[in-house]
């Protein structure tokens, strides 16, 4: 058997170690991103959207009462900043979608706790995935909350 040894200079050894460490770090980052990245909630169809809202405890209209296309702005006003704070509390982040096209599907809600009228759920969907949402009262002086139904 023939074995050949190679003697590397000190700088070549250091470069080889650094290269190995970089490759290992990239592998770790790749694996973590694949394992722990949010998968997104697929809500590409009306049926999926209704089942999602019902799963949160809401009784909804059988079809959206409104559907419109929007572009998430690149530059945010205070209103968008506050809205994204609500989304962050729910595990969403619109910051990743600046400049992207999205659809807003609006459903009537029939079982809001205090029997108010004009309660709707808005689902903001990009490429078939839920990226944000809220439940709100459209009356003057109304409110806005996250998607999860409280026991109020």
> What pLDDT does 31 receive?
45
For residue 35, the 8-state DSSP code is: H
d(CA 85, CA 93): 8
- Phi (first) and psi of residue 27, to 5 degrees: -65, -45
What residues are paired with 121 via a beta bridge?
Answer: 107, 135
Predicted confidence at residue 24, as pLDDT, reads: 53
Global pTM?
A: 0.72
Whether 135 and 120 have beta carbons less than 8 Å apart is answered as yes
For the chain, what is the mean pLDDT? 84
37-82 pLDDT, tens digit each: 445 789 989 999 999 999 999 999 999 999 999 999 999 999 999 9
Q: Which of 142, 140, 122 is nearest to 131 (CA)?
A: 122
């Amino acid at each position: 058997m023939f074995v050949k040894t190679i003697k590397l200079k000190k700088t070549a050894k250091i470069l080889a170690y650094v290269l190995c460490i970089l490759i290992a770090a990239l592998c770790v980052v790749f694996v973590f991103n694949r394992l722990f990245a949010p998968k997104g909630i697929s809500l590409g169809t009306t049926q999926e959207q209704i089942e999602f809202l019902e799963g949160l405890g809401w009784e909804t209209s059988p079809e959206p009462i409104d559907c419109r296309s929007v572009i998430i702005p690149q530059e945010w006003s205070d209103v968008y900043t506050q809205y994204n704070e609500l989304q962050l509390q729910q595990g969403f982040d619109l910051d990743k979608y600046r400049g992207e096209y999205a659809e807003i599907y609006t459903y009537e809600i029939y079982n809001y706790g205090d029997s108010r009228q004009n309660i709707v759920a808005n689902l903001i969907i990009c490429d078939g995935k839920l990226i944000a949402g809220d439940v709100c009262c459209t009356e003057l002086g109304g409110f806005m909350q996250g998607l999860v139904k409280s026991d109020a």
